[in-house]
Amino acid sequence: MEAPSSTPDQLTSDLRALERELWTQEYLMKISEFDGATVAPEKGAAARGEALGYLAAKNHALLTGERAQELVRAGEAAVERGDITDAQLADEIRVLARDQREAQAIPEEDEVAFTRLVCEADAVWHKAKNASDWESFEPYIDRLVAAIKRRAELIDPDRDPYDVMLDQYERGLTAAQFDAFCTEVRGTVVPLVAEIGERPQPEAAFLNAHVPEGVQRSLSYDLMRLVGLDMEASALAFTEHPFSEGFASGDARVTTHIFEDNLMSNVYSVIHEAGHAIYEQNVDPAYACTRLEGGTSLGIHESQSRLFENTIGRSRAFMGPLLRVLRAHAPEVYGQVSEDELYRAVNIAQPSLIRTEADELTYPLHIMIRYEIERELFSGEARACDIPRRWADLTRHYLGLEVPDHARGALQDTHWSGGSFGYFPTYALGSAYDAQFLPALERDGVDVDAAAASGDLAPVRAWLCEKIWRHGRAKDAPELIQAACGAPLDAGFYCDYLKRKFGELYGL
Amino acid sequence: MEAPSSTPDQLTSDLRALERELWTQEYLMKISEFDGATVAPEKGAAARGEALGYLAAKNHALLTGERAQELVRAGEAAVERGDITDAQLADEIRVLARDQREAQAIPEEDEVAFTRLVCEADAVWHKAKNASDWESFEPYIDRLVAAIKRRAELIDPDRDPYDVMLDQYERGLTAAQFDAFCTEVRGTVVPLVAEIGERPQPEAAFLNAHVPEGVQRSLSYDLMRLVGLDMEASALAFTEHPFSEGFASGDARVTTHIFEDNLMSNVYSVIHEAGHAIYEQNVDPAYACTRLEGGTSLGIHESQSRLFENTIGRSRAFMGPLLRVLRAHAPEVYGQVSEDELYRAVNIAQPSLIRTEADELTYPLHIMIRYEIERELFSGEARACDIPRRWADLTRHYLGLEVPDHARGALQDTHWSGGSFGYFPTYALGSAYDAQFLPALERDGVDVDAAAASGDLAPVRAWLCEKIWRHGRAKDAPELIQAACGAPLDAGFYCDYLKRKFGELYGL
């Protein structure tokens, strides 16, 4: 054991060294995972697993070790006493202390057992999904829910376990709050979807025109530039499922998947992931290598990706700049398409079975199906064996569709097999935050439509950077929303936005 | 300090745990470096440098720490006493001890200073090469040579520093030995090049035909298969300079650079790098995560890459299978090219200025230029300021060419700026080993030409695996060559091979 940090300067330097080492380990884990998703061969998985397990154990030991505990205690005391007055450092200590407390709550043997269970569940789920075989995966759901309830109780024995998990993904979020959110959104969306179902859909054969991989690749870079990524601090890679990751100050990357007969899948994946990456790129550089680097929550992260993908990316105003990019790369397909035709085509609202392919309007209904089932699993009202029936009922009820098989039903998402329960709500919150940002932007003098129409999104980025991006993990979601919008989350904005946009699109 | 390992079983398990941790750190370094070379954005360099520095320091501390020293001492004693009889474990202890001894020889402050010097030199070299500006880089050469001489003295104060460095790259190699090698090879190659200079060169306009990137990409995979890589344990990526890397049992990758008007550059880069990768893929799986994993030396590694690239890949017999691949992907270019035309085209021998683009015959002359200058720098006969003149003299003398600028002269290679002196000879040794393998293969009943002509290289791979690949780092180069060829390295085979091949090609 090293000597306790004797002066505030020494303490500051010791804390920063601890943060830097944690950061380095996490950077290496992310690089190794990215390598696994983008280029590593199949048979390299065992070695990667070994290395990731090694780093995860080192990271947990470092974060929760005696030395780190002592440093956090000394740091908190120094802030309390007024020996540390630097606001950033105080934030670092607060966030480090919370990370440490939560990591410490789970005993190492539980952590190892959980990691093993998730690994196993994930492997079984992959096969089960391919074979649409619910039964083989079913036992894992009950085991996972039990394990996660135990984790939640270890983190906070005084609260409802599902609330504890929601709070892990979106600080401050409770089931009561999300219930109210769902009630309000459902009340708007379900009748809207029904009304639209009676209207004709636009013709848009160009959506499935063949656009070669090479063309889609170079087009993707133009979209990253349009979002405003610093291209010297970003990269594009190709994966089974698109994702993005912030690795470091100066390194946030986007991945996409190209289907030659579905250009828009690539277009909106890239814009979405670029929205995540630009958030990571614009965290205050002073936070580099500290606990404050990176995005603050899943919901806030999703609000950034969806703002670029939907709120701007699927707005009427943006069709001009978007069409210019499409025409530059695929003139034979987009030369004759008008802005209006493009706008209608990228906003076709129609119930469908797969969440990741759902349109902006029906998307929240997919979240509600999952959320309701998770709640029932956690309350004990339902068990894994009830899921297929509940999934079918809720899909019929909300989307008016029959579930033809489990692959397009309860096996479609990777979240549960990955041990993530309480995660889905953050997707719906992202869009709701966006709808609330719009009047705030307007009030602050930012003309979003003018920026979208010009293709120069700098004014929007400046506002997002000031209100959201630069704060990194120093502020939690509720605080950011309150400061940006002057009010807490209010689903009314989201409902109004959907009613206005889709009402106009379908002439309701 | 943990308790000393009390039983042979405990000692074995402690040693293996140490090896595994060292392996994991080295795996992560390689993944991070690969990420840097293939996909990471420019501004991600600082973070990667931070992470690599962290791992390198951890790795050095772990390898040379008290605990590791104690384990190595206990391991060596147990082998000595006969408590450890397992041959593999004894090899692991021997190689670990050597790695440890050499790492320990350099004090940490020297190591850090050297790393910093190399980083700085490398950055300056990149700019200097682009600007063909020798003067800015010149001071680094003197500093690097002084630093490396000091390292060599720390590793072994009783030997000539240049011999110590040669031994680092190729165990057992001495300057006296390489001098003799050069004298013999020079005596064959210089007159051969002069004679060929008086003969007409073949027409081969197809070499510069346009072959699109996408076509070259898919063609590359066929070449990896032709070499015989396990495609589930390999991957192909795209970089500024082609390289290969073995990451783990089950993960050895190839990179290439595509020029659309120079398909053969890609073809032979891929075959060459696949030759390195297949060696790494075929080390005894029992060596995974131990000190014995990976190739044993640079010279042996280069012998494998050049065997596939030149000895087989540019042989008359291989033109059939190669032409089949070329025609499958680029029929409009290769449909009318005959095997004979292809054979002559890929074996054009002609003095040129750039080592990496040199043909099989003139290549060793490029090595001799560098080797002679390194020897003069280490003996004190020359200083950095003398290099341009020496480079020009030697280029004129060996290749009959004038050096037009430093970028195509002494600034062309990355080795010196990277702190690698004594490395170049291994490239020439690789080809010489290959020429000596040929009669050994024949004696062991392997018909290399028949395998090359059929496109099924399995018999050649089986021999290489038995003689070279499977041994990993358990045997040093001289031992491998003696066992495979029944004699030590003999440059006569290489000279005969070049005389026969190029004599026939140019009708001498």
Q: From the list A21, A24, A248, which residue is nearest B44 (CB)?
A: A248
Dihedral through CA A449, CA A451, CA A455, CA A458, nearest 10?
Answer: -150
Report the SS3 class of residue B450: helix
Report the C-alpha gap between A410 and A406 in whole angstroms.
6
* Angle, alpha carbons B491-B495-B499 (nearest 5°): 170
Lookup: tokens for B139: 């001071």
- Closest-CA distance of chain A to residue B356, Å: 26
- The burial class, CB within 10 Å (0-12 / 13-18 / 19+), for A376 is middle
Q: Which residues pair with A237 in a beta bridge?
A: A255
Residue B418 backbone phi and psi in degrees, to 5: -85, 5
Write down the pLDDT at residue A4: 57
Lookup: tokens for B303: 């012998």
Closest CA to B235 of B227, B248, B224: B224
Question: Which residues of chain B lie closer than 8 angstroms to A285, CB-CB?
Answer: none
Report the C-alpha gap between B288 and B283 in whole angstroms.
8
In this prediction, residues B394-412 reach a mean pLDDT of 97
Report the C-alpha gap between B287 and B302 in whole angstroms.
21
The residue with tokens 């090609």 is: B505
Dihedral through CA B482, CA B488, CA B493, CA B498, nearest 10?
Answer: 100
Q: Would you say A271 and A227 are in contact if contact means Cβ atoms under 8 Å apart?
A: yes
Average pLDDT, chain B: 96
- Which positions of A are catalytic? 273
- Closest-CA distance of chain A to residue B6, Å: 25
Report the C-alpha gap between A223 and A322 in whole angstroms.
8
Higher pLDDT, residue B236 or B4: B236
The residue with tokens 């495609």 is: B231
Write down the pLDDT at residue B412: 96
The residue with tokens 């029944």 is: B486
Full 3-state SS string of B370-385: HHHHHHHHHHCCCCHH
Sign of CA dihedral A156, A162, A167, A173: negative
Report the C-alpha gap between A45 and A126 in whole angstroms.
15
Report the C-alpha gap between A455 and A449 in whole angstroms.
10
Report the C-alpha gap between A425 and A403 in whole angstroms.
22
Q: From the list A24, A31, A234, which residue is nearest B35 (CB)?
A: A31
- From A47, which residue of chain B is nearest by alpha-carbon distance? B248
Report the C-alpha gap between A338 and A211 in whole angstroms.
18
CB contact under 8 A, A234 and B41: yes
Q: From the list A39, A47, A248, which residue is nearest B250 (CB)?
A: A47
Report the C-alpha gap between A159 and B228 in whole angstroms.
59
Best residue of A26, A39, A234 to probe chain B, by most B CBs closer than 10 Å: A39
Report the C-alpha gap between A497 and B272 in whole angstroms.
59
Report the SS3 class of residue A254: strand
Report the C-alpha gap between B155 and A279 in whole angstroms.
49
- Closest-CA distance of chain B to residue A235, Å: 6
Residue B375 pLDDT greater than 50, yes or no: yes
Report the C-alpha gap between B168 and B166 in whole angstroms.
5
Full 3-state SS string of B255-319: EECCCCCCHHHHHHHHHHHHHHHHHHHCCCHHHCCCCCCCCCCHHHHHHHHHHHHHHHCCCCCCH
Residue A261 backbone phi and psi in degrees, to 5: -105, 20
Write down the pLDDT at residue A272: 98
Closest CA to B439 of B486, B471, B503: B486
ipTM for the predicted complex: 0.93
What share of chain B in percent tops pLDDT 90?
Answer: 94
Write down the pLDDT at residue A116: 86
Report the C-alpha gap between A156 and A457 in whole angstroms.
43
Closest CA to B415 of B6, B122, B11: B122
Report the SS3 class of residue B237: strand
Per-residue pLDDT tens over the stretch B154-205 = 999 999 999 999 999 999 999 999 999 999 999 999 999 999 999 999 999 9
Sheet holding A244-248, edge to edge: A236-238, A251-256, A244-248
CB contact under 8 A, A32 and B31: yes
Of the candidate ranges A5-9, A289-293, B24-28, B476-480, the one whose mean pLDDT is the lowest: A5-9
CB contact under 8 A, A233 and B43: yes
Report the SS3 class of residue A64: helix
In this prediction, residues B398-414 reach a mean pLDDT of 96
Best residue of B16, B19, B21, B24 to probe chain A, by most A CBs closer than 10 Å: B24
Report the C-alpha gap between A200 and A203 in whole angstroms.
9
Report the C-alpha gap between B388 and B407 in whole angstroms.
11
Sequential DSSP letters for B127-178:
HHHHHT-HHHHHHHHHHHHHHHHHHHHHH-TTS-HHHHHHHHHSTT--HHHH
**Distance (Å) of CA B464 to CA A216, A356, B70, B234, B458:** 43, 49, 37, 19, 10
Dihedral through CA A491, CA A390, CA A403, CA A125, nearest 10?
Answer: 100
For B377-393, letters b (16+ CB in 10 Å) and e give bbeeebebebbbebbbe
- From A36, which residue of chain B is nearest by alpha-carbon distance? B31
Amino acid at A45: A
The residue with tokens 């989350």 is: A489
Q: Give me the numbers of helices (H) and strands (E) for chain A, helices first please.
A: 21, 3
DSSP A44: G
Write down the pLDDT at residue B358: 96
- From A215, which residue of chain B is nearest by alpha-carbon distance? B214
Q: Would you say A446 and A459 are in contact if contact means Cβ atoms under 8 Å apart?
A: yes
Report the C-alpha gap between A316 and B324 in whole angstroms.
52
Sequential DSSP letters for A105-130:
HS-HHHHHHHHHHHHHHHHHHHHHHH
Report the C-alpha gap between B498 and B500 in whole angstroms.
5
For chain B, list residues whose CB is within 8 angstroms of any CB belonging to chain A: 20-21, 24, 27-28, 31-32, 34-35, 38-48, 50-51, 54-55, 213-214, 230-235, 237, 247-251, 253, 289
Report the C-alpha gap between A470 and A449 in whole angstroms.
24
Largest Cα–Cα separation, chain A:
74
Residue B117 pLDDT greater than 70, yes or no: yes
Q: From the list A44, A213, A232, which residue is nearest B251 (CB)?
A: A44
- The burial class, CB within 10 Å (0-12 / 13-18 / 19+), for B402 is exposed
Sign of CA dihedral A357, A360, A362, A364: positive
pLDDT (tens place) for every residue of chain A, 508 residues total: 455 567 989 999 999 999 999 999 999 999 999 999 999 999 999 899 889 999 999 999 999 999 999 999 999 999 999 999 999 999 999 999 999 999 999 998 888 889 889 989 988 999 999 999 999 999 999 999 999 999 999 999 999 999 999 999 999 999 999 999 999 999 999 999 999 999 999 999 999 999 999 999 999 999 999 999 999 999 999 998 899 999 998 999 999 999 999 999 999 999 999 999 999 999 999 999 999 999 999 999 999 999 999 999 999 999 999 999 999 999 999 999 999 999 999 999 999 999 999 999 999 999 999 999 999 999 999 999 999 999 999 999 999 999 999 999 999 999 999 999 999 999 999 999 999 999 999 999 999 999 999 999 999 999 999 999 999 999 999 999 999 999 999 999 999 999 999 999 999 9
